[in-house]
A and B are shown apart, each in its own frame.
Chain A
Amino acid sequence: MKEQIRAFIQDGGSFEDCALELYRWQRSNNPEYDRFCGPVIARHWSEIPAVPTSLFRDLSFTSFAIEDATTVFRTSGTTSGKRGSIYLQDTEVYELAAQTHAEKCLHNIPRHGVSFVPTAADSSLGHMCRNFVPDMPNFFDASTGVRSVAAWKAIAEAAQSGEPLFIPGTAFALADLLDAEHSPVSLPPGSIVMVTGGFKGQRRSVPATVLHNQLARSLPGAQVVGEYGMSELSSQLWAVPADSPFHPPPWMRILAVDPWTGQPATRGLLRFFDLANYQTVGAIETADLGVVHPDGSVSLEGRLEGAIPRGCSLTVEEADA
């Protein structure tokens, strides 16, 4: 299956055929997923049962013997406090998928950069960025935040080389960077500022468009782009420029569903069908809301609001009315 997926990423093919073959293969090789699917018979990629991302907190869903795992990506745990684990036997297809689609969307990934993403070994985001540009100096730490003064200095020094820069960062890290006193730093042509993630679990939030505009003003010369990914997915989506819809790679499809019924809807909870996820499960249901456009791209509309607490409770919304 790995070779088939690799060939699809490199040469293309019928998504429908490959998705259904992957589904059958995963049911045979992934006992947890097989039990999860139960009696379902999928005749179209959109009917393939999607695993809620929250289930990775309890189950591993590997399509290989888990003792053969060489890499573990962990979710942030900001929603529930409990982190999910995604086990991979190897990262070859993950890296191929990430590189192939990023190059298609960004044309050229700069070879130098300054990083504002987590560096932990179990961060899929950190892994992807290190794969794009190895040895980037990093100025973000999840516990201590952004070292802003040093970061601005590093960006200015790197810009003087004249080589285009890759500056990946989570939205809240880049917002912290912008908060520090600084002068705009002109970046060489071809430079890219990559914004990913939202403000989930953070003390504050900055609207995406505001953040993108501030980045463009503070780092003139760079293109500000958006990246959407998660530990549970082996592929990413890119928004170029940042405020446009996110485009999936050819080996991924997205479906919006009604949050309660799970039936297809114009706007709703997003399910991703990612062929590069051959090592875990191909279909994932996220907690993100969005609209899928006719060309397959997606506009994000935030996260599904928390349900009414089921005890004797009223929500903060009620209290603040």
Chain B
Amino acid sequence: MLEATLQALQNLRAQPAGPLSQGLSHSNAQECLNQAIRPLNSSSLAAGVAAAGPLPDTIGIIVPHGVFTTPIEWTALAIAGGSRVHLKAPNRDPALVRTLSEVFQKEGLPVTWSNQRELPPVDAVVAFGSDESIDAIAKAHSNVPMARYGHRFSLALVTGDPEQAARALATDLARYDTRGCMAPTAIFCTGDGIALAEALASAMQESEHRWPRGTIDPALGPEWRRRLGLARVMGHTSAGAQWAVNVMQPAYFTPMSLPRMGTIHPIQDVHSLRQILAPWTPWLSTLGTDTEGVTIDGIHRVCPLGWMQAPPFPRDHDGRPMLSGLQSPPGEI
């Protein structure tokens, strides 16, 4: 099972990633796909299976739209652990889920998919999504255990050299075009915000050449213009054709990322960041930082800058081992 899983992943990695990526540019999509598969090897999968504990026979995974690689590691882990998997694809773009199923099936592995809301009989459900939509899914599958991963967001904290931080931040902002719960919604810095903004602007321009921005949801336009306008009036902004870097007071912190927009909020110290984030504790995910030993309530993962969108495998996701607890009694885990 493990060997076949690894072979399926290699076959997936060989696919052109652009068409699977829900609108990323080809080079960005390929980089994201490689990064998503790279940590999956025999020892990490074995470690993930061991950490997960006993798995149910069949797992339904509700795949979100946005970060196209999301189902890869979860599917690989479940299959490596001996489960069968049914993937519910996002309606807007099922390409990755379809291809993922095909490469696993080709190796004789039990992965099926559909984009119908009604899942076939499953023994457990893993769902990603906003709280409201997960509520709907939970209601429909209240007879089985369900691991819910709702809306969360991530942040960056810079206390050191702006130049070094900027290059890494540009990678975090470019990957997946800043989609997903591990993308930095805001960059807090204890030093010179303008100096960091200037360095980040250069780095954003470079990463735009390397990994061009893909297609954008048009509905983000008004919010993009609102943020830029607000930064022009109340702060500082520099923008290229497909990116923007703003500097704003922390009072304007907005916990929603926009594609290739980095918003820097100067702060006094880590303590003030804790105060800013206190109301958001239930929704925090990852902190990318150049600072050792930072702890913030609600943050489940602290990583170096440049690695925010490349989480390790296996890991605790939202505070618990991936796929753990799926043998619990019916209901939310």
Contacts and interface: CB of A to CB of B under 8 A. Distances in A.
Given A262-B225, A305-B219, A314-B64, A55 B230 contact: yes
Interface in A294-321: 304-321
B218 A311 contact: no
A58 interface: yes
A305 B219 CA distance: 7
Interface of A, secondary structure class, is loop
B90 A260 contact: no
A285 interface: yes
Contacts of B64: 312-314, 318
Nearest to B90: A318
B133 interface: yes
Contacts of B221: 258-262, 269
A316 B232 contact: no
B229 A314 contact: no
A32 B233 contact: yes
B151 A309 contact: yes
A38 B229 CA distance: 9
A88 B179 CA distance: 40
Contact of A308 (B136, B217, B234): B217
Given A319-B129, A320-B136, A311 B151 contact: yes
Contacts of A309: 66, 130, 151, 256
A203 interface: no
B116 A321 contact: yes
B222 A54 contact: yes
Interface string A96-111: 0000000000000000
Interface in B189-241: 216-226, 229-230, 232-234
Nearest to A49: B229
Interface in A61-100: none
B219 A35 contact: no
Given A287-B222, A304-B222, A307-B219, A313 B232 contact: no
Contacts of A311: 66, 130, 151-153, 180-181, 256, 283, 285
Contacts, number: 142
B70 to A, nearest CB: 8
Contact of B117 (A51, A305, A321): A321
A184 interface: no
Contact of A314 (B128, B185, B218, B219): B128
A51 B222 CA distance: 10
Contact of B132 (A36, A260, A316, A321): A316
A313 B66 contact: yes
Nearest to A257: B221
B130 A52 contact: no
B218 A258 contact: yes
Nearest to B140: A319
A42 to B, nearest CB: 16
B234 A319 contact: no
Contacts of A318: 64-65, 90-92, 129, 133
Contacts of B179: 308, 310
A59 interface: yes
Contact of B226 (A35, A54, A258, A321): A54
Interface residues of A, number: 36
B223 A307 contact: yes
Size band of the interface chain B makes with A = 35 or more
A131 to B, nearest CB: 31
Contact of B256 (A258, A285, A310): A310
Given A313-B133, A319-B129, A260 B220 contact: yes
Given A58-B234, A304-B222, A307-B220, A314 B117 contact: no
B33 interface: no
Contacts of B256: 309-311
Nearest to B114: A321
B65 A312 contact: no
A36 B227 CA distance: 11
Contacts of B90: 314, 318
B155 interface: no
Interface string B252-266: 100011100000000
B75 interface: no
A306 B226 CA distance: 15
Nearest to A61: B233
Contacts of A320: 117, 136
A282 to B, nearest CB: 15
Interface centre among A51, A54, A309 (most CB of B within 10 A): A309
Given A304-B219, A321-B117, A310 B225 contact: no
Interface in B88-113: 90-92
27 contacts: A36-B229, A52-B226, A58-B230, A260-B218, A260-B220, A285-B222, A285-B225, A287-B222, A304-B222, A305-B219, A307-B223, A308-B66, A308-B179, A308-B217, A308-B219, A309-B130, A310-B66, A311-B285, A312-B129, A312-B150, A313-B151, A314-B130, A315-B129, A318-B90, A319-B133, A320-B136, A321-B115
Interface of A: 32, 35-36, 38, 51-52, 54-55, 58-59, 258-262, 269, 285, 287, 304-321
List of 8 A-B pairs having minimum Cβ-Cβ separation, nearest first: A312-B181, A307-B219, A319-B133, A314-B129, A260-B221, A260-B218, A259-B218, A313-B130
